[in-house]
Chains A and B, each alone.
Chain A
Amino acid sequence: MSSKGAELVVRALEQQGVEIIFGYPGGAIMPVYDALLNSSVKHILARHEQGAALAADAYARVTGRPGVCMATSGPGATNLVTGIANAFMDSVPLVVITGQVPTTVMGTDAFQEVDVFGITMPIVKHSFIVRRAEDIPKTIALAFQIAAEGRPGPVLVDLPKDIANAVPAHAPIYETRRPKRVVPDAAQVQAARELILGAQRPVLYGGGGIPIAGAVDAFRAYARASGIPVVTTLKGLGSVSTRDENFLGMLGMHGNRAANRAIQESDLLICVGARFDDRATGKLDGFAPKASVIHMDADPSEIGKLRFADAGLLGDLVESLAAMPTGLDIAPWQQWCAARKVEHAWRYDAPGDDIYVPHMLRRLTEEAPDVTIACDVGQHQMWVAQHCHFDRPEQHLTSAGLGTMGYGIPAGIGACLARPGARVVTVSGDGSIMMNIQELQTIKRYGLDLKILLVDNSSLGMVRQWQQLFHGERYSEVDLSDNPDFVEVARSFGIPAFRITRRDEVEGAIRRLLDTEGPLLAHVCIDPKSNVWPLVPPGQSNDVMMEELSA
Chain B
Amino acid sequence: MNHTLQMNLHQVEGALIRLLGLIERRGFAVTSMNAYTGEQHVEVTVDIHSAGRSVETLTRQIQKLYDVRSVACLTAAEAPAALGGSVAC
A interface, CB within 8 angstroms of B: 117-118, 121-122, 125-129, 131, 146, 278-279, 282-285, 299-301, 304-308, 538-539
Contact = CB atoms under 8 A, between A and B. Distances in A.
B80 A538 contact: no
A279 B86 CA distance: 11
20 contacts: A117-B13, A117-B14, A118-B14, A121-B14, A121-B18, A122-B25, A126-B66, A129-B13, A129-B14, A131-B13, A278-B88, A283-B86, A285-B82, A285-B86, A299-B64, A301-B64, A304-B54, A306-B83, A538-B88, A539-B89
B71 to A, nearest CB: 12
Given A117-B14, A283-B85, A304 B21 contact: no
Contacts of B25: 122
Contacts of A125: 66
Interface stretch (B1-9, B33-41, B55-63): B55-63
A539 B21 CA distance: 28
Interface in B68-89: 80, 82-83, 85-89
B17 interface: yes
Contacts of B66: 125-126, 146
Contacts of B21: 121-122
B88 A301 contact: no
A45 to B, nearest CB: 31
Nearest to A314: B60
A308 B79 CA distance: 10
A330 B57 CA distance: 34
Contact of A278 (B17, B82, B86): B86
Nearest to A308: B80
Contacts of A307: 82
A299 B64 CA distance: 9
A539 B86 contact: yes
A304 B82 contact: no
A127 B87 CA distance: 31
Contacts of A127: 14
A146 B86 CA distance: 33
Interface of B: 13-14, 17-18, 21-22, 25, 54, 56-57, 60-61, 63-67, 80, 82-83, 85-89
A304 B56 contact: yes
A300 B56 CA distance: 11
Contacts of B56: 304
A273 to B, nearest CB: 16
A538 B89 contact: yes
Given A283-B85, A304-B80, 13 more contacts: A117-B13, A121-B14, A278-B86, A279-B88, A299-B64, A300-B63, A301-B60, A301-B61, A301-B63, A307-B82, A538-B86, A539-B85, A539-B86
Contacts of A299: 64
A299 to B, nearest CB: 7
Nearest to B13: A129
B25 to A, nearest CB: 6
Nearest to B56: A304
A283 B89 CA distance: 11
Contacts of A285: 82, 85-86
Contacts of A306: 83
A155 to B, nearest CB: 9
A450 B7 CA distance: 50
Contacts of B83: 284, 306
Contacts of B63: 300-301
Contacts of B17: 118, 121
A547 B17 CA distance: 47
A301 B61 CA distance: 5
A284 B61 CA distance: 21
B21, B64, B82, most chain A CB atoms within 10 A: B64
B64 A282 contact: no
Nearest to B86: A283
Top 8 A-B residue pairs of the complex, sorted by shortest distance between their CB atoms: A278-B88, A301-B60, A283-B86, A126-B66, A301-B61, A300-B60, A539-B86, A305-B57
A14 to B, nearest CB: 24
B58 to A, nearest CB: 8
Contacts of A129: 13-14
A122 B24 CA distance: 11
B88 A539 contact: yes
A304 B87 CA distance: 18
Nearest to A299: B64
Nearest to B58: A301
Contacts of B13: 117, 128-129, 131
